[in-house]
């Protein structure tokens, strides 16, 4: 899960992360910790949506109108947002509320931004996404895919940028996820309660230390955090220069074809995720080894059910990888 989160924050175009697994395994803590690690972002002062002063192409209508003469907006630094979507949230809470009466009588748009606006340029975490109402899930996925939120009420419409990394969690035993929903997450990972006694003890000790004295705990880990932050910044800067040889793409496509994934989202995700991994590790060229390491998280949720094969999806991906590339030497 940590690797998946790091990779999508290096290249958000990979898409969101779906986390399967048990409750109480620190999923939301991990997302919150990652948002805290990321360097603060510059936002246009006074903008309701936290527009990026350097990206005028993606500004909201208000920023566009205000700075159309070309003078640079005032900006300040702000932490990367990490927004929790509670299960009982209403549609208005998610997309924002439009006060029609005020809009019609005074002519001004009376729009109260929702959680999608707050998550812009950050993370939106949805615990138990499989229990969320279908129409809310659709709204979420539409916004995540288009990078904007459109609210329309009786002829009045408001649109604003909403580019965020969607992180969903869910326990498949408590409600099936629609396949068309799953396919729209870039990566999928499994988080299980640790079986190793030593690891369990380590986790509860750290948790207890944090609860007793958060300041000392954070100071103790500050160096490690700073190191991860630097690696992330370097990886983002390097991403555009990492090349992907055709031979590696061919292997990615062969793997998807072997597994029978629908459409081409599988290949695209393999390409982007392995490139982000190479950037993260300081490599200039993507190799089969990079693809191999992220194959399960990029493909496991895109497999069709196979009645003749009751192995879980991670095992099926890993088996296909080793069948195809087990004994072959790297092509790049
Ligand atoms: Zn704006």
pLDDT score at 149: 93
| pLDDT at residue number 87 | 83
| Average pLDDT of span 163-167 | 91
Map tokens 């190799």 to a residue: 287
pLDDT score recorded for residue 119 = 94
Residues near ligand 1 ion, CB 5 Å cutoff:
47, 49, 51, 60, 63
For residues 145 and 199, the model is more confident at 199
90-144 pLDDT tens trace: 999 999 988 877 767 776 668 889 999 999 999 999 988 888 888 888 888 888 8
Q: So what's the pLDDT on residue 329?
A: 53
Ranking 51-65, 103-117, 155-169 by mean pLDDT, the lowest is 103-117
Query: Residue 59 C-alpha to ligand 1 middle, in angstroms?
Result: 5
Q: What is the mean pLDDT of the chain?
A: 88
C-alpha of residue 63 to centroid of ligand 1, in Å: 4
Lowest average pLDDT, out of 51-60, 285-294, 305-314, goes to 305-314
- Tell me the CA–centroid distance for residue 134 and ligand 1, in Å: 30
Mean pLDDT for 275-290 is: 96
Band (288; pLDDT cuts 50, 70, 90): very high
Span 280-296, average pLDDT: 95
The beta-carbon contacts of 38-42 under 8 Å, at least 24 apart in sequence, are: 38/9, 38/80, 38/229, 38/232, 39/80, 39/229, 39/232, 39/233, 40/77, 40/78, 40/79, 40/80, 41/77, 41/78, 41/79, 41/80, 41/121, 42/75, 42/76, 42/77, 42/78
Dmax (CA) of the chain:
72
The predicted model gives 154-165 an average pLDDT of: 87
Ligand 1 centre from 75 Cα, in Å?
A: 11
Cβ-proximal residues to 168 (8 Å cutoff; 6+ apart), any chain: 16, 17, 18, 19, 125, 126, 129, 185
Report how far residue 20's alpha carbon sits from residue 127's, in angstroms, rounded to the nearest whole number. 10
Task: Kindly indicate the confidence band of residue 26, based on its pLDDT and cuts at 50, 70 and 90.
Answer: confident
pLDDT at 307: 65
More confident residue, 84 or 35: 84
The secondary element (H helix, E strand) that includes residue 235 is: helix 214-238
pLDDT above 60 for 255: yes
pLDDT tens string 213-225: 999 999 999 999 9
Residues labelled as active-site residues: 265
Q: Which residues contact 94 (CB under 8 A, 6 or more apart)?
A: 85, 114, 115, 116, 136, 139, 140
The whole-number pLDDT of residue 32 equals: 84
Give the SS3 label for residue 100.
Answer: helix
pLDDT band at residue 327 under the 50/70/90 scheme: low
- Ligand 1 geometric centre to CA of 92 (Å): 20
Q: What is the pLDDT of residue 211?
A: 95
Evaluate whether 244 touches 271 at the Cβ level (below 8 Å). Answer: yes
Query: 279-303: string of b/e by CB count within 10 Å (b at 16+)?
Result: bbeeeeebbbebbbbbbbbbbbbbb
Over range 176-196, report the average pLDDT. 84
**What pLDDT score was predicted for residue 328?**
55
CA of 34 to the centre of ligand 1 (A): 25
107 CA to centre of ligand 1 in angstroms:
20
Residues 190-216, mean pLDDT to the nearest whole number: 93
Q: Kindly give the distance from the C-alpha atom of residue 136 to the centroid of ligand 1, in angstroms, as a whole number.
A: 25
User: How confident is the model at residue 231, as a pLDDT?
Assistant: 93
**What distances in angstroms separate CA 120 from CA 58, 91, 144, 145, 165, one per listed residue?**
11, 17, 10, 13, 9
């Amino acid at each position: 899960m940590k690797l998946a989160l790091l990779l999508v924050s290096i290249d958000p175009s990979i898409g969101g992360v779906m986390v399967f697994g048990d409750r109480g395994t620190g999923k939301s803590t991990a997302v919150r910790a990652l948002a805290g690690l990321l360097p603060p972002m510059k936002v246009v002062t006074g903008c309701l949506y936290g527009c990026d002063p350097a990206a005028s192409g993606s500004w909201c209508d208000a920023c566009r109108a205000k700075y159309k003469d070309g003078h640079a907006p005032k900006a300040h630094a702000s932490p990367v947002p990490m927004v929790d979507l509670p299960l009982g949230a209403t549609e208005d809470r998610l997309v924002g509320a439009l006060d029609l009466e005020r809009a019609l009588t005074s002519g001004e748009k009376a729009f109260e931004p929702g959680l999608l606006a707050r998550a812009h340029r950050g993370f939106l975490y949805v615990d138990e996404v499989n229990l969320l109402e279908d129409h809310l899930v659709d709204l979420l996925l539409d916004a995540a895919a288009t990078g904007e939120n459109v609210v329309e009420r009786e002829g009045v419409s408001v649109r604003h940028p909403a580019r965020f990394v969607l992180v969903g969690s869910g326990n498949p035993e408590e409600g099936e996820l629609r396949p068309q929903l799953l396919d729209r997450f870039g990566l999928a990972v499994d988080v299980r309660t640790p079986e190793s006694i030593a690891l369990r003890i380590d986790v509860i000790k750290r948790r207890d230390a944090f609860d007793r004295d958060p300041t000392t705990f954070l100071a103790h880990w500050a160096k490690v955090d700073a190191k991860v932050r630097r690696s992330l910044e370097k990886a983002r800067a390097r991403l555009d220069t990492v090349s992907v040889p055709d031979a590696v793409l061919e292997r990615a496509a062969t793997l998807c074809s072997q597994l029978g994934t629908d459409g081409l989202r599988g290949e695209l995700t393999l390409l982007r995720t392995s490139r982000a991994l190479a950037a993260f590790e300081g490599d200039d060229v993507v190799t089969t080894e990079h693809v191999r390491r992220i194959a399960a998280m990029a493909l496991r949720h895109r497999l069709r059910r196979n009645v003749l094969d009751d192995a879980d999806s991670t095992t099926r991906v890993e088996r296909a990888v080793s069948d195809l590339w087990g004994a072959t030497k790297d092509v790049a």
